């Protein structure tokens, strides 16, 4: 079991910004013996889960992770349901629209449609960002059950030093109003408005977000975008089988 734990810790080091790793980098961060790291990477390589570049001896994720990721994506039916409506939102607003889900203390973008304008919000599919910063993550956290909210808030407080009670209070406000709006909270000069999506069982599955540069946002524009967003989020949720909104 210890070997599996070490393997998963190594794999968790990969990100959109770090697509390859060397044995030295892994050893420096995780403090495992080089022999242990080599043995784990060698096993993964033999089974096509990582690939070693013979020129620089760096390891990248292999085809089998792409295959498994494709299976996961095919199971996310709400992506298929959401995408046509997301494209319509971009046509209506000229802003970037994205879907995010919870991943531990982070949120992950699983689908996006870019704004057609030159100046726009930039996000990558698969990108992980802190759950407590920005409208996308805050909406996700606000619609988790209370016990899960508290657990995540306590972990965030340990990791980042945020005020747990203040965060929980803001999440309660978001839950009551049904959406979140932020200006420059995660990325200076940008805004985001986000609302939750629900499935047939009434469970929150993702957040739907409209985001763009703050120079295109006025109070009146924010109200307009919220109306468009909330209408779209209800439409997607109903298409997923969610029975009704109060």
pLDDT value of position 28: 94
Question: Is it true that 2-68 and 76-239 share their CATH fold?
Answer: no
pLDDT value of position 72: 67
pLDDT value of position 162: 85
Q: Which helix H or strand E contains 192, and what residues bound it? A: strand 190-198
| Cβ 237 vs Cβ 197: under 8 Å | yes
| Alpha carbons 76 and 215: distance in angstroms, whole number | 34
Enumerate the domain spans of the chain.
2-68, 76-239
- Whether 245 shows a pLDDT value over 70: the answer reads no
Report CA 132 to chain centroid distance, whole Å: 11
Nearest to 132 by CA among 158, 168, 86: 168
In tens, the pLDDT along 162-180 reads 888 998 999 999 999 999 9
| Alpha carbons 43 and 27: distance in angstroms, whole number | 17
| Alpha carbons 3 and 37: distance in angstroms, whole number | 10
Write out the two tokens for 140: 């996700």
In tens, the pLDDT along 78-87 reads 888 899 999 9
Q: Does domain 76-239 have CATH number 3.30.420.40?
A: no
Write out the two tokens for 50: 């990582």
In tens, the pLDDT along 192-220 reads 999 999 988 888 989 999 999 999 989 99
pTM across the whole model: 0.71
DSSP-H helix ranges across the chain: 2-11, 23-30, 34-46, 63-75, 77-93, 135-142, 146-160, 164-177, 219-239
Split at pLDDT 50, 70, 90, the class of 92 is: very high
Tell me how crowded residue 239 is: count the other CB atoms within 10 A of its CB. 16
Q: Which helix H or strand E contains 14, and what residues bound it? A: none
pLDDT value of position 244: 67
Q: Does domain 2-68 have CATH number 1.10.10.10?
A: yes
């Amino acid at each position: 079991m210890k070997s599996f734990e070490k393997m998963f810790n190594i794999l968790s080091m990969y990100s959109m910004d770090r697509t390859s790793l060397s044995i030295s980098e892994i050893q420096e961060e995780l403090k495992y013996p080089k022999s242990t790291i080599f043995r784990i990477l060698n096993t993964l390589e033999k089974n096509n889960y990582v690939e070693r570049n013979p020129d620089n001896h760096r390891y990248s994720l292999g085809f089998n992770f792409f295959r498994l990721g494709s299976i996961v994506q095919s199971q996310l039916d709400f992506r298929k349901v959401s995408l046509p409506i997301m494209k319509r939102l971009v046509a209506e607003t000229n802003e970037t629209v994205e879907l995010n889900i919870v991943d531990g203390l982070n949120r992950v973008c699983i689908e996006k449609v870019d704004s057609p304008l030159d100046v726009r919000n930039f996000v990558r599919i698969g990108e992980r960002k802190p759950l407590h910063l920005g409208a996308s993550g805050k909406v996700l956290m606000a619609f988790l059950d209370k016990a899960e909210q508290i657990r995540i808030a306590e972990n965030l407080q340990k990791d980042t030093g945020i005020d747990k009670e203040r965060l929980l209070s803001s999440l309660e406000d978001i839950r009551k109003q049904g959406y979140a709006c932020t200006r420059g909270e995660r990325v200076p000069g940008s805004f985001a408005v986000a609302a939750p999506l629900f499935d047939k069982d009434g469970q929150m599955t993702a957040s739907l977000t409209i985001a763009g540069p703050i120079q295109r946002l006025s109070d009146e524009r924010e109200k307009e975008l919220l109306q468009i967003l909330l209408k779209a989020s209800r439409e997607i949720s109903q298409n997923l089988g969610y029975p009704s909104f109060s």
